Structures are given as C-alpha cells and as structure tokens.
Structure 1
Amino acid sequence: MTYTDIEIWLIIVVLAIGTFLIRFSFLGLIGNRKGPPWVLRHLRYTTVSVLPALIMPLVLWPSATGGEPDPARLAAAAMALAVGYLMKSAIGAIVAGMGTLYLMLYVTG
C-alpha cells in the first residue's frame, strides 16, 4: 500500500494529537491533584516494573547475537542487579554492568 505525502503527514498529525491527548488526560487534567493513597502507593512501583520489562528482552534475546542468549550480557545483567541491590545505587549498577559487559566481550572475543 502506497501513501501520498499528504496522507503520511495527516497520519503523523493525527497520531501526534492522539498521543498528546492521552498524556494530557493524565498530566494536564489530574496532574496537580492529590490522588488517593492507594493510587499513589501503586504509582511508586511504575519505574521498578517498566525498566526490567524494557531491559530483559535485550539481555535474553539480544539482536547482536541473532537472538541467542549471550554469557557476556547475562553476566553483565547479573552484576548490575547485584550491585544495584547491594549498594542501592542506580549509577553504580549501570557502571558495574557496563564494565562487566565490556570485560566479558573482551575476554570471550
């Protein structure tokens, strides 16, 4: 199916308006109001649940290895998890994970 330039721009504008309205419904309309305690308690865990969901596919099925699990990436994820848990430091976990990944890639070739 081929689209003209006008149709492509119309699709982009409609999607932009749609995503703006979705975000505005949360941030603009109810963003400055105090929510119920049970909602605020659940919202604290949003980052904790979203970040692993974004990272785990990259660790278990990395495109760099054709979708096969890689010992270097598994070791880096384990190190980042351990450092993050023990030190309670996101920066420390990132640095430890990156260092482990680069070291393992260097060692395994």
Structure 2
Amino acid sequence: MIDRTTFWIVVAVLGLATYLIRFSFLGILGNHPLPLWLVRALRYTAVAVLPALVAPAVLWPPATGGSPDPVRLATVAVTLLAGIFSRNMIAAIAAGGVTFYLLPQLIG
C-alpha cells in the first residue's frame, strides 16, 4: 500500500498528463483540419481496442489458470463467423453467448 501523499501526487500527475494529451488534439488541432491519412487511421481505433481488451481473457483466461480453453476459443470462432456473415453485432454477440452457454453442457 502506498502512502496518501504519494497516491495524490500520482493522481495529479496522471490527471495533468491526460489533460495535456486531450489538449493536444482539442486545443491545438481543434481549429485545423486533420490530414486525411490520420482521419482514416482514427476510424479503426475502436475496432482495434476491443480485440486488444478481449484477447487476453480468451487466450489466457484466469478461470483456467492461464491455459487456453477450447470453449472460449470456439466461442470466439462462432462470434467472429456470425459477425462476418450476418454483419450484425447483436447477432454476433448472441451467437457467442449461446455458444459459451451451451458448449460446456454439450461437451460434458
């Protein structure tokens, strides 16, 4: 456990750092158009963040001690295929949820 003073110093420094990062885009570049290549790249930010958040939980789940789990891998495959073929996020999530629920019961 860290002491209270160190904690508040870290909070203040991180708050200032995130403010400066946001200010660099909003304050400095706010009135100027962004280059086309940057606008194109920023479109994929959300698409890249979600797999980065989910991948560790799928490949090295804490529930299995960090070893890959066939149920989770199959769920990812079904979700990905449902998303590709249906082009519907809700259908992909539903297919993955059903797979994650039913596959352990089918396997035993």
User: CA-to-partner distance for each residue in 1:35-92, whole Å, 9 max, x for gaps?
Assistant: 1222112222222222222212211111111111111101110011001101111121
Higher mean displacement: 64-73 or 46-55: 46-55
Which amino acid in the other structure matches residue 103 of structure 2? M
Q: For residue 102 of structure 2, what is the aligned residue in structure 1?
A: 103
Count of residues in Structure 1 that have an aligned counterpart in Structure 2: 108
TM-score (norm 1): 0.82
- Deviations 1:17-52 (CA, angstroms, capped at 9, x unpaired): 212221232234324643122211222222222222
- Structure 1 residue ranges, 4+ long, deviating more than 6 angstroms after superposition: none
**Which residue does the alignment assign to 2:93?**
94
3-state SS of paired residue (1:18): helix
Identity of aligned residues (%): 50
TM normalised by structure 2 equals: 0.83
Per the alignment, do residues 32 and 88 of structure 1 end up closer, same or farther by CA in structure 2, a change over 3 Å counting?
farther
